[in-house]
Amino acid sequence: MPIKASTPSSVLLVCLGNICRSPTAEEIFRQQAAIAGLSMKVDSAGTGDWHIGHAPDERAQRHAKAHGYNINKLVARQVSADDFRDFDLILAMDAQNLADLQSIKNGITNTDKKLAKLALFSEEDPTYGGDDVPDPYTGDGDAFEEVIERIESSAQAWIESWKI
């Protein structure tokens, strides 16, 4: 299947703490891209610094594993200015993450390299288009299940958008 020239070679998935939504999205996106035959670097980060160096939330790990996604070896990190140079596309889990990323991007100066495109993770999704992926951190198991459902849908929508 032909892929559009605009298919990124690298995608960074970003949420607030990088322990629930974005590590789950990293693994789902990685698997779906591989299934579609896309070779791309996929990573995740958080806009906040509270969980740097920590594994994903145990609830996120448990729910992801139940769906065939292993995220237990991922380690939380904070997004940096270098990420805007190192990735082609940065996808934010919600509008606040997107606004925070835009502020970081706006503060990057003296670069001779093209900076990453920013978008909301659900932007291409016909089901959830424009919606935030809700943060399940303070929720129950159903909240984590909803996150997986939304991430699977939106990741698939991005990958479909790159096919001709």
pLDDT tens for 4-36 read 558 999 999 999 999 999 999 999 999 999 999
Catalytic residues: 15, 21, 135
Angstrom distance (rounded) from CA 89 to CA 84: 8
Specify the range with the lowest mean pLDDT, choosing from 34-48, 101-115, 131-145.
Answer: 101-115
Q: Where are the domains of the chain?
A: 10-161
Question: Residue 164 pLDDT > 70, yes or no?
Answer: no
Residue pair 73/51 in contact by the 8 Å Cβ criterion: no
Res 105: pLDDT: 95
Using CA atoms, how far residue 32 sits from 35, 97, 118, in Å, is 5, 23, 20
- The model carries a pTM of 0.95
CATH of domain 10-161: 3.40.50.2300
Using CA atoms, how far residue 118 sits from 10, 104, 143, in Å, is 12, 11, 25
Angstrom distance (rounded) from CA 125 to CA 41: 21
Question: Residue 147 pLDDT > 60, yes or no?
Answer: yes
